[in-house]
A and B are shown apart, each in its own frame.
Chain A
Amino acid sequence: QVQLQESGPGLVKPSETLSLTCTVSRGSISSYYWSWIRQPAGKGLEWIGRIYTTGSTNYNPSLKSRVTMSVDTSKNQFSLRLTSVTAADTAVYYCARVGSSWSQGPGWFDPWGQGTLVAVSS
């Protein structure tokens, strides 16, 4: 069973860049879309973006100007960079594989990493 694990700093200063990495184990990163999703404390889930193993990306329009995702197939990892962070970016950040079917395409998230809390504070 594929497993995902997020890693990165738990504290980022305002106006700086948030950087996280998701390591995929017990399976290959190839031929799938991979996503980042976040959840502020006590609030709902927000899709941040997705990346295919070729490097093709799609981002949430509300975050597009600040988000960059990348993939390193040799390390079975993909990453998230979010620039110019504010307190509103404080959240638990999850990485997830995007499930896909031949008939419908990529449309659901499974499995998920355990999540990592990132706080934005000086």
Chain B
Amino acid sequence: QSALTQPASVSGSPGQSITISCTGTSSDVGSYNLVSWYQQHPGKAPKLMIYEVSKRPSGVSNHFSGSKSGNTASLTISGLQADDEADYYCCSYAGNSYVFGTGTKVTVL
């Protein structure tokens, strides 16, 4: 059970859009529509941003969106804001277990 692959870092200017990829296998991302995304600010617990590939929990801004194609899921942040600067992790169900991504540091320039 290997970690899902994410880019180590992604950056963008305020107002721009960025996309974070999350690549797994046919045993996890490719087999289930149970991909979730978490935002983590330094010293804080992770916060759920997207679940079931593309659904947003109540209270999460609509400038976060998720999608999936084959074994790769993606998180898009549209209209980047200063407060979006954080670490982001994807996670996939893998059949009675879960696997997290390697994590991506988002920097707002």
Name A's B-contacting residues (CB within 8 A): 35, 37, 44-47, 50, 58-62, 94, 99, 101, 104-115
Q: How far is B34's CA from A105's CA once the two chains are assembled, in angstroms?
A: 8
B36 and A47 within 8 A (CB): no
Contacts of A44 in B (CB 8 A): 3, 89, 100-103
- 29 A/B residue pairs, CB under 8 Å, sorted by A: A35-B98, A37-B100, A44-B100, A45-B100, A46-B100, A47-B91, A47-B99, A58-B97, A59-B97, A60-B1, A61-B1, A94-B45, A99-B48, A99-B51, A104-B32, A104-B52, A105-B34, A105-B93, A107-B34, A108-B34, A108-B36, A108-B48, A109-B36, A109-B38, A109-B46, A109-B48, A110-B48, A112-B46, A115-B45
**With A62-B1, A109-B36, A109-B38 in contact, is A47–B100 under 8 Å at CB?**
yes
Contact of A113 among B45, B57, B93 (CB under 8 A): B45
B17 at the A interface (CB under 8 A): no
Q: How far is B3's CA from A60's CA once the two chains are assembled, in angstroms?
A: 12
Q: How far is B103's CA from A110's CA once the two chains are assembled, in angstroms?
A: 18
Closest chain B CB from A95 CB (angstroms):
10
Name B's A-contacting residues (CB within 8 A): 1, 3, 32-34, 36, 38, 45-48, 51-52, 57, 89, 91, 93, 96-103
In terms of DSSP, what is the predominant structure of the interface of chain A?
Answer: strand
Residue of A nearest to B103 (CB): A44
Closest chain B CB from A64 CB (angstroms):
10
Q: How far is B101's CA from A5's CA once the two chains are assembled, in angstroms?
A: 25
Contacts of A101 in B (CB 8 A): 52
Q: How far is B89's CA from A27's CA once the two chains are assembled, in angstroms?
A: 27
Closest chain A CB from B38 CB (angstroms):
7
Contacts of B91 in A (CB 8 A): 45, 47, 108-109
A107 and B57 within 8 A (CB): no
